[in-house]
């Protein structure tokens, strides 16, 4: 097995999140939540193109529609037109708006991902008061192709990572505040979930930090970003075993995505905010490419609208 290499590919941002590898264009999209930026990184040219948008937490291409992306702006799901080069989007269209369980409008959408059928799954987090997120104010929902939304789970605190098993029968999900990775039975035809259970507990396994974004490899193992833990971990969700730790030179590791020509490179986003000693980890907030892991992922899915 090749040695594992962690390479910095972008400069620091405040809170990098939501990496999505576009296998057709061979570029990486991600956002800087704290800096209100959307980025496109091209590994072939090592160039970064960016635009400024407030309140964006994720970016996912729309299948079969050039220059179209689904993003969020606060609690709105938005269809964005962007050529990937300009510093401003060509168009923004709100296609759905989500509310708190009680109907109030304090929530904002956090992490999101499309399943293999092209349906968007996303979750929210509650209002931030005195630098603390209001617990159990978020929801887990999906956006159907007719642009309607359906709430599946309530009382979520910090909605984060999504991943699906290779057979699409299980959806893995993270509410970061719980310190756990959960699984649901998944019906991709009906966009239904059920039988929630915990498959990995950070505290019980002595893992530092909180679970954030995640992805899955072709063997069905999860790769999970550890916010506050300076690492990405590999977990077998079927046995609950911790398989591997990959050290990242940033305290707050936020998300992960497979990419590269063979889908065997792991792109890792991090944040520079919330650090006690920023000088100790000067690469905090940078985006990294990890190679030599001996694993590969599944293609990232686009949204079907």
Q: Which are the catalytic amino acids?
A: 212
Tokens for 129, please give them: 């008061």
Measured CA to CA, the distance from residue 126 to residue 156 in angstroms comes to: 9
Q: What is the 3-state secondary structure (H, E, C) of the chain?
A: CCCCEEEECCCCCCEEEEEEEECCCCEEEEEECCCCEEEEEECCCCEEEEEECCCCCCEEEECCCCCEEEEEECCEEEEEECCCCCCCCCEEEEEEECCCCCCCCCCEEEEEEECCCCCEEEEEECCEECCEECCCCEEEEEECCCCCEEEEEEEECEEEEEEECCCCCEEEEEEHHHCEEEEEEEECCCCEEEEEEEEEECCCCCCCCEEEEEEEECCCCEEEEEECCCEEEEEECCCCEEEEEEECCCCEEEEEEEECCCCCEEEEEEECCCCCCHHHCCCCCCCEEEECCCCCECCCCCECC
């Amino acid at each position: 097995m090749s040695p594992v290499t962690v390479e910095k590919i972008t400069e620091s941002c405040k809170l990098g999140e939501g990496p999505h590898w576009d296998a057709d264009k061979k570029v990486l999209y991600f956002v800087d939540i704290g800096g209100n930026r959307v980025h496109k990184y091209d590994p072939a040219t090592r160039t970064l193109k960016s635009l400024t948008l407030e309140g964006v937490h994720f970016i996912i291409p729309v299948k079969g529609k050039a220059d179209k992306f689904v993003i969020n702006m606060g609690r709105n799901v938005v269809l964005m037109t962007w050529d990937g080069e300009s510093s401003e989007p060509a168009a923004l269209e709100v296609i759905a708006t989500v509310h708190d369980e009680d109907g109030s409008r304090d929530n904002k959408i956090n992490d999101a991902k499309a399943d293999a059928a092209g349906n968007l799954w996303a979750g929210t987090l509650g209002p931030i008061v005195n630098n603390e997120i209001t617990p159990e104010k978020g929801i887990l929902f999906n956006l159907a192709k007719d642009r309607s939304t359906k709430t599946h789970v309530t009382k979520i605190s910090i909605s984060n990572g999504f991943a699906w098993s290779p057979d699409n029968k299980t959806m893995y999900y993270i509410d970061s505040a719980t310190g756990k990775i959960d699984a649901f039975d998944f019906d991709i035809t009906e966009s239904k979930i059920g039988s929630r259970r915990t498959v990995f507990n950070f505290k019980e396994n002595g893992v530092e930090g909180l679970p954030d974004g995640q992805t899955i490899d072709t063997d069905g193992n999860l790769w999970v970003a550890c916010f506050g833990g300076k690492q990405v971990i590999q977990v077998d969700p079927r046995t609950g075993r911790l398989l591997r730790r990959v050290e990242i030179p940033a305290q707050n590791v936020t998300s992960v995505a497979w990419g590269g020509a063979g889908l065997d490179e792991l792109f890792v986003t991090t944040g520079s905010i919330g650090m006690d000693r920023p000088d100790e980890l000067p690469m905090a907030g940078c985006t990294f490419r990890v190679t030599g892991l001996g694993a590969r992922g599944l293609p990232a899915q686009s949204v079907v609208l």
